[in-house]
Amino acid sequence: MVQHDAPEVFEAIEKANPYAETVRRRFFDLAASLSEELEAALRTPPNNESGH
């Protein structure tokens, strides 16, 4: 979607924006947490209370 944006757009978003680093770190922390949760769920047998 943004592959054709001018390099200045990246500069403005990532370097000139004082909040970019905090938001980027939070995003990747949340993505890592989600990945860990999904991997744990895959290792856990399903809880089949209905007997099906």
The pLDDT assigned to 50 comes to 64
In this prediction, residue 46 carries a pLDDT of 78
pLDDT string in tens for the chain (52-residue length): 778 999 999 899 889 999 999 999 999 999 999 999 999 999 988 776 665 5
How far is C-alpha 2 from the chain's CA centre? 18
**10 Cα distance to chain centroid:** 19
Task: Please report the pLDDT score of residue 3 as a whole number.
Answer: 84
Q: What's residue 51's pLDDT?
A: 55
Which ranges constitute the DSSP H helices of the chain? 7-10, 20-43
Q: Give pLDDT, residue 52.
A: 59
| pTM of the predicted structure, to 2 decimals | 0.65
